[in-house]
Structure 1
């Protein structure tokens, strides 16, 4: 069975100040952020990888740009956060695990090649960068066995940052969906993961990609940094 991959791209991305969905922002090499993601997906998982995009804001532009993808509509894109977009995508997925990423991440293709090895053994994971720990980013801690224990922007003493590339295994997916349904509309999906760890005993590995570039583009300066890193 081909790997199921989800791109979360329903939000308005207002902080970047663009009229189109943030994932359609053009990079310095002429590709959009999402085209760069598709290229990386195909490099790591082959052309038969099944990609589903969660759309909302100005969805017609994304559908026109990537007609080969499947689409899930978050009709409450202006009232909910990534937790509800991911919930919709997981509910619409086939049996098996799901790899997902935020639609605004510019990242090294090797990050997915590294992830593919963990996907192959159907192990839930969160890709992380241990090189920096910023207040505004989602941070994590681990338990004695090295699995993720806490995962949020409010974590104290974080070991690094989550970069927005994650996987839920076939055995863990149902529990994560239940927790995503429970969390507040404005919660990020990381809250669902954190609750599933705490209440359902999910074992989620941190996959270190600190040696690779990965930039979540929220502001104009993030876009500048992404272009410098990957050019």
Structure 2
């Protein structure tokens, strides 16, 4: 079955202070953030992977840069957060699981190779970095069995940070869609995952990629750090 991949790129990205959508920010190697993501997707899954991008803010610039992708429009991009962008993408997806990523993550292509093992098993997961626990990032804890228990920015005694690359299995997708519908407009998609775990018994594995680089670019210093790797 063709791997379904979603890139969330509807937001305004105002914290970085650029006029174009944040995924079109140029890296030191000449590629854009999203350009690096597309290269990484092809590296791990080949050219047959189906990529859908959720757009909103200045969407025409992204569509022009990546005409080969499929597109879903979040018309409320300025009033909603990633929970509602992911909801639109999952509702538009075909049968099977969906791998998704935030459109501002610069990462080692081997991250998706590692993800591919769980994608092929059709196991829901969240990629994590156990070497860093920042107050500003989404953090997590696990159950005694090793599955994700809590997933938010307010987690105490966290084991690490969520990286922003995740997968929902075919069996869990309906529950996640239902919970993404229910959460608040300003919630991150992680809230939908957390409630699906609490209320639907969804089993989500933490996939450790601490040995590989992955930088979510929110501020200028994040971009500078990302450029050390590419």
Q: Same fold (TM over 0.5)?
A: yes
Q: How far apart, CA to CA, are the structure 2 residues paired with 1:111 and 1:26?
A: 21
Deviation (angstroms), 1:226 = 0.4
Residue 139 (structure 1) aligned with residue 139 (structure 2):
yes
Deviation (angstroms), 1:29 = 0.1
- 1:76-99: CA deviation from partner (whole Å, max 9, x where unpaired): 000000000000000000000000
Q: How far apart, CA to CA, are the structure 1 residues paired with 2:225 and 2:69?
A: 28
Number of residue pairs matched by the alignment: 230
Counterpart in 1 of 2:178?
A: 178
Deviation (angstroms), 1:145 = 0.3
Q: How far apart, CA to CA, are the structure 1 residues paired with 2:58 and 2:188?
A: 21
- 1:36-77: CA deviation from partner (whole Å, max 9, x where unpaired): 000000000000100000000000000000000000000000
Report 1:34-113 matches (<5 A).
34-113=34-113
Counterpart in 1 of 2:203?
A: 203
**Which ranges in structure 1 are unaligned for 5 or more consecutive residues?**
none
Deviation (angstroms), 1:153 = 0.1
Deviation (angstroms), 1:3 = 0.1
Q: How far apart, CA to CA, are the structure 1 residues paired with 2:46 and 2:125?
A: 21
Q: How far apart, CA to CA, are the structure 1 residues paired with 2:132 and 2:88?
A: 31
Residue 122 (structure 1) aligned with residue 141 (structure 2):
no
Counterpart in 1 of 2:32?
A: 32
- 1:83-126: CA deviation from partner (whole Å, max 9, x where unpaired): 00000000000000000000000000000000001000000000
Q: What stretches of structure 1 move > 2 A for 4+ residues in a row?
A: none
Q: How far apart, CA to CA, are the structure 2 residues paired with 1:65 and 1:59?
A: 10
Counterpart in 1 of 2:18?
A: 18
Deviation (angstroms), 1:2 = 0.8
